[in-house]
Amino acid sequence: MTSIVQPDGVAGEWQDRVAAVRRELTEHGPPRIPDGGPDFATVTLPERDCDQVRDLLVEERVGTVVEIGLAYAGSALAISEALLRNGSRNPRHVVIDPFQYTAYDGIGWELLRSAGLDDIAELVTEPSQRFLPRLADAGFAADAAFVDGSHHFHNVFVDLHFLGDIVRPGGIVVLDDVWWPSVGAAVTYFETNLGWRPIPDARVDGTADPASGRRRIGAYRLPDPRPTPDFKEFRPFC
């Protein structure tokens, strides 16, 4: 990954360009849907939730974000918008999606590029469960992560385990679809045993399941310092 320094005087124009691409995607959908590809409305984070993620990352003043799952780039555009608003001199957005070209025909990455975000974003097209360990071993540090990849419990658990090493102490991890039992159970382990704390206000206006009232988005603050509990202190979590 290369470091990109934001040129002085263009941040506002860059934000406007990203906002315009986001608006076009929200109002008209992606430029195309691959034959047999995933349904846009089903897999894309709703605009209100994207805004909430963006606003949380702005409030946290993040400069580096790891995102798992690109799809049609709805959340990625919102995250990049936050990075630009924060005015970091070296914003970085690592996006991991092994299905970007096989299932989505590269559309999400095309949209990021059309917004000029390939200067700050890097697309990784291998499973997060393989890439995150290498990122952690390299000493890569992020301020936040957004997780919307595999919804299998074991994959979410592995993602969160390594993000616990990658995201700095006191940083945040945001997950989509915590209303799914597999996703919710995985993050509950980290709440119960490793001290991850929910950020309730971060999702108050987000999408909720009409039947259960459970929110779609979950946001968690990592402990500072990182805990090292004894295995004898394990607490059942589901």
Identify the band that residue 2 occupies on the pLDDT scale cut at 50, 70 and 90. very low
Q: What is the mean pLDDT of residues 181-192?
A: 97
Task: State the helix-helix crossing angle for 11-28 and 74-85, rounded to 10 degrees.
Answer: 160
For the chain, the average pLDDT equals 93
Nearest to 144 by CA among 73, 214, 92, 180: 92
Q: Does residue 155 register a pLDDT over 70?
A: yes
Residue 9 has a pLDDT of 46
> Does pLDDT of 74 surpass 70?
yes
> Is 70 buried (19+), middle (13-18) or exposed (0-12) by CB count in 10 A?
buried
CA atoms of 197 and 27, how far apart (whole Å): 35
End-to-end CA distance of the chain: 39
Map tokens 């799914």 to a residue: 180
pLDDT for 12 equals 81
pTM of the model: 0.93
Cα–Cα distance for residue pair 106/104, rounded to 1 Å:
5
**CA dist., res. 219 & res. 54, Å (int):** 12
